[in-house]
């Protein structure tokens, strides 16, 4: 997705942005070449085991025996687990002859492998304005096990949108301390058509923001949030300092 600028900025001087790849520097409304990068770094409802019933009956001699009463057992609590089911992604939108794209898909972004929510992801890094602005725009697939990480120079009230995005994606917004501040399951929007102004197109795009300043944004394949079940307030175990040092 691409980072977007606040709705006001978007209408005045907004550079081409994509899905959640566009950054906005304004307060969030309602409801991505690059520098060298240094090396880096639930569940179904709880089930209950029925308590064993007390044993009783007659002894071998045939005499009546008092039922044996066993102490009550508490229901067993099963640990939360992450789902391993990966639903097949929806096919990408195919632009028609009357549709307009404002950017081409990015290539050759720097990459590093990080562990996010307990799984390893091959991450593309967006460390400067142009790559952050384009993000996942015009991409036709989001392979499982991959991610795109946006690193901003300083914490801001960020808004991302799905401009020029052909696929759905999940968005995780992270504060300066590496703590998740917002989670979004973003869906592609109808592309701009030749008879629609850029201002009208951008005005109808939903914004995906954060209630507090964020410094990092992670875009993941659609369905990742539903499968791994991360929570707001959860810490992401990535060493952000080397990336902060080179982000522009």
Distance CA 48, CA 75 (A): 5
Which pLDDT does position 59 carry in this prediction? Answer: 35
Which residues, 6 or more positions from 190, have their beta carbon under 8 angstroms from its beta carbon? none
pLDDT per position as a tens digit, 168-219: 999 999 999 999 999 999 999 999 999 999 999 999 999 999 999 999 999 9
Which pLDDT does position 85 carry in this prediction? Answer: 65
Tokens read off for 196? 């629609």
> Does residue 91 lie within any of the structural domains?
no
Q: CA–CA distance from 28 to each of 70, 77, 107, 158 (Å)?
A: 59, 40, 29, 7
Tell me the β-bridge partners of 148.
124, 219
Q: What is the mean pLDDT of residues 61-74?
A: 45
CATH number at residue 186: 2.60.120.1140
Distance CA 207, CA 202 (A): 10
> Does residue 152 lie within any of the structural domains?
yes
Say how many domains are in the chain: 1
Q: Per-residue pLDDT for 74 more than 60?
A: no
> Does residue 155 lie within any of the structural domains?
yes
DSSP 8-state class, residue 22: B
Identify the band that residue 95 occupies on the pLDDT scale cut at 50, 70 and 90. Answer: very high
Q: CA–CA distance from 9 to each of 15, 63, 121, 195, 203 (Å)?
A: 10, 89, 33, 22, 11
Which residues, 6 or more positions from 68, have their beta carbon under 8 angstroms from its beta carbon? 54, 55, 56
Tokens read off for 232? 């707001």
> Does residue 64 lie within any of the structural domains?
no
Q: Is 3 or 42 the better-scoring residue by pLDDT?
A: 3
pTM above 0.75, yes or no: no
> Does residue 224 lie within any of the structural domains?
yes
Which pLDDT does position 89 carry in this prediction? Answer: 75
Neighbours of 130 (CB within 10 A): 15
Q: CA–CA distance from 41 to each of 115, 128, 217 (Å)?
A: 7, 21, 17
Distance CA 182, CA 54 (A): 50
SS3 202: helix
Residues spanned by the domain of 175: 2-33+102-244
Phi, psi of 125 (to 5 degrees): -115, 130
> Does residue 73 lie within any of the structural domains?
no
Outline where the chain has alpha helix (H). 7-13, 129-134, 198-203, 224-228, 241-244
Which pLDDT does position 82 carry in this prediction? Answer: 55
Outline where 92-205 has alpha helix (H). 129-134, 198-203
Q: Which of 111, 110, 182 is nearest to 145 (CA)?
A: 111
pLDDT per position as a tens digit, 207-228: 999 999 999 999 999 999 999 9
How many angstroms from the chain centroid is the CA of residue 20?
A: 10
Identify the band that residue 90 occupies on the pLDDT scale cut at 50, 70 and 90. Answer: confident
Which pLDDT does position 63 carry in this prediction? Answer: 38
Which pLDDT does position 84 carry in this prediction? Answer: 60
- Which of the residue ranges 19-28, 123-132, 142-151 would you say has the lowest mean pLDDT? 19-28
User: In whole angstroms, how large is the CA radius of gyration of the chain?
Assistant: 25
Number of helical H runs and strand E runs in the chain: 5, 14
Which pLDDT does position 2 carry in this prediction? Answer: 61
> Does residue 79 lie within any of the structural domains?
no
> Does residue 43 lie within any of the structural domains?
no
């Amino acid at each position: 997705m691409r980072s977007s600028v606040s709705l006001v900025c978007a209408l005045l001087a907004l550079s081409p942005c994509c899905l959640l790849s566009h950054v906005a520097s304004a307060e969030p409304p309602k409801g991505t070449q690059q520098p060298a990068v240094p090396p880096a770094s639930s569940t179904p409802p709880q089930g209950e085991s029925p308590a064993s019933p007390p044993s009783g009956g007659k002894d071998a001699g045939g005499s009546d025996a008092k039922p044996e009463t066993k102490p009550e057992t508490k229901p067993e609590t099963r640990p939360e687990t992450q789902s391993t089911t990966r639903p097949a992604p929806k096919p990408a939108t195919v632009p028609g002859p009357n549709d307009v794209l404002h950017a081409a898909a990015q290539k050759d972004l720097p990459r590093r492998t990080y562990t996010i929510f307990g799984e390893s992801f091959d991450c593309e890094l967006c460390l400067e304005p142009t790559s952050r602005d384009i993000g996942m725009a015009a991409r036709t697939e989001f392979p499982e096990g991959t991610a795109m990480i946006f690193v901003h120079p300083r914490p801001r009230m960020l808004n991302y949108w799905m401009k020029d995005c052909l696929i759905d994606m999940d968005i995780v917004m992270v504060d300066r301390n590496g703590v998740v501040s917002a989670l979004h399951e973003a869906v592609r929007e109808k592309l701009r058509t030749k008879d629609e102004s850029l201002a009208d197109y951008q005005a109808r795009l939903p914004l995906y923001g954060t209630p507090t300043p964020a410094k990092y944004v992670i875009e993941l394949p659609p369905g990742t949030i539903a499968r791994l079940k991360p929570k707001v307030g959860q810490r992401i175990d990535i060493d952000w300092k080397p990336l902060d040092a080179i982000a522009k």
